[in-house]
Amino acid sequence: MGLLPVLLAILIANGSGVAYSYNLTVRLENGASPLSLDDAYSPFSLLLNQNVFKNVSGQSVSIESVRLNGFEVPWSLEYDSDGNPLVTINSSGGLAPMQEATVELLFAIEIERDAPEINVDNIGRISDIPTELKEAYPLTGIWDLSKLGDPEALIQVADSIRGEEENVILIIKHLLEWFEANMVYASNNTSPQTVWETFIQRRGDCDDQSNLFVLFCRLYGIPAYAAIGPIYLPGQVEDEADQNMRFKTENVGWHGWAMVYLPLRGGGGTWIPVDLTYFRGAYAEGGHIKSKDYLQHITGAALYYRDTVVFIEYINYDHISEYASIRDVLVSSDCVWIEFHQMLPISQPSLFSSALYLALAIVAVASILLIAHSILRRRNRGGLPFEGEGQKAFCLVSSKL
């Protein structure tokens, strides 16, 4: 095997991940009433304040453009109490009756993640989790026990699942076994359920089940939170409606999962995804989503199994109540709210990578050396350069560049 194919193989094997462009377009068609920016919950205010993707471990995001009605506009970046970024478009005035406004956000996203290797023998106990870390993930927000219909009933179930176990990964194993046996997947929800509704009904979609899983973890003193984001699903097109709201997606499937802290016996720890509903090796049985091995929920989670982007992380804020309030505002208005989400691969995701430039330079130099060597060797044999077998080999290699 020649030097150039070897270098190309190394280059491909050590690429810097996959890259996508993500287009989020929201159009607001106003009804008969003027809309003001003075009210933070008016449909026009909601249009001009959009959640955006965040930079977290395993993904890098840049905001390429922010447009209002087709024109680039000034904007600022704000953060909610959980650290999630929001783009705020700087605009004055309001939206007149029967007018419409469109916000377009374009993102460039690069993803590079490797599934963790879980060595059960290296996972610590609940007592190995630092107190200050436990305190950062309290029973608050949607996980506030006072918001449950019967907190004691849920606590009794949580205790029966855990038993006397102290090892964190084995507690997660017991929880996953309970979810597989008891929870039914239901995807027909127009808005997130409360944790209590998911528990008492024993059914819910991906984020509903994730929220309940997080509650169990926090009851045990295991830090955990919920996350949502899009999965790249090429060819999938959806068009759904919820009264006067429409949601169109292209190459996108939205998903939710739990993030859980694993302490290590030697000190320190790591965060892992726990995916209740979409993971490598999942299969359905009587409405229950099951696995052959509980670790598939972790190492085969959508975060690793597919190209998945973290959009929002719900740590302590009551996002279910917030979403319900926003939905009530939009549904009770005479406006029409239309969202369009599109995810497309970028053909050359890492050409801006300095490491790739260096590798390509090495390949170019190697190509020149190979050509020079071929010329000199053929001259010594009395042949012509770039003819016969040597020419074909070079053309095949160069076509891969």
> Which residue's structure tokens are 């190509």?
367
The predicted pLDDT at position 373 comes to: 37
Residue 163: Cβ-neighbour burial (10 angstroms; 0-12, 13-18, 19+): exposed
Contacts for 61 with CB less than 8 Å, ≥ 6 apart: 52, 53, 54, 55, 107, 108, 109, 110, 309
Q: What pTM, to 2 d.p., does this model score?
A: 0.82
Determine the Cα–Cα distance for residues 49 and 76; give it in Å rounded to an integer. Answer: 10
The predicted pLDDT at position 258 comes to: 98
- For domain 120-236+250-317, which architecture applies? Roll (3.10)
Alpha-carbon dihedral of residues 153, 158, 160, 165, nearest 10 degrees?
Answer: -160
The predicted pLDDT at position 17 comes to: 73
* Percentages of the chain per state (helix, strand, coil), in multiples of 5: 35, 30, 35
Residue 257: Cβ-neighbour burial (10 angstroms; 0-12, 13-18, 19+): buried
Structure tokens at 257: 């999962």
Q: Determine the 3-state secondary structure of 235 from DSSP.
A: strand
> What does each of the 401 residues of the chain score in pLDDT, given as a tens digit?
443 333 333 333 333 479 999 999 999 999 999 999 988 899 999 999 999 999 999 999 999 999 999 999 999 999 999 999 999 999 888 999 999 999 999 999 999 999 999 999 999 999 999 999 999 999 999 999 999 999 999 999 999 999 999 999 999 999 999 999 999 999 865 677 899 999 999 999 999 999 999 999 999 999 999 999 999 999 999 999 999 999 999 999 999 999 999 999 989 999 999 999 999 999 999 999 999 999 999 999 999 999 999 999 999 999 889 999 999 999 999 999 999 999 999 964 443 444 444 443 444 444 433 333 333 333 333 322 222 222 222 222 222 12
Alpha-carbon dihedral of residues 259, 196, 198, 79, nearest 10 degrees?
Answer: -40
The predicted pLDDT at position 190 comes to: 66
The predicted pLDDT at position 188 comes to: 63
Q: Are strands 336-345 and 245-263 parallel, antiparallel or unpaired?
A: parallel
The predicted pLDDT at position 191 comes to: 72
Determine the Cα–Cα distance for residues 226 and 313; give it in Å rounded to an integer. Answer: 6
Determine the length of the chain: 401
Determine the Cα–Cα distance for residues 41 and 48; give it in Å rounded to an integer. Answer: 11
Domain residue limits, the chain: 3-10+350-399, 120-236+250-317
Distances, alpha carbon 58 to alpha carbons 176, 263, 325, in Å: 25, 20, 32
Using alpha carbons only, what angle is made at residue 207 by residues 322 and 278, rounded to the nearest 5 degrees? 155
DSSP 10-22: HHHHT---EEEEE
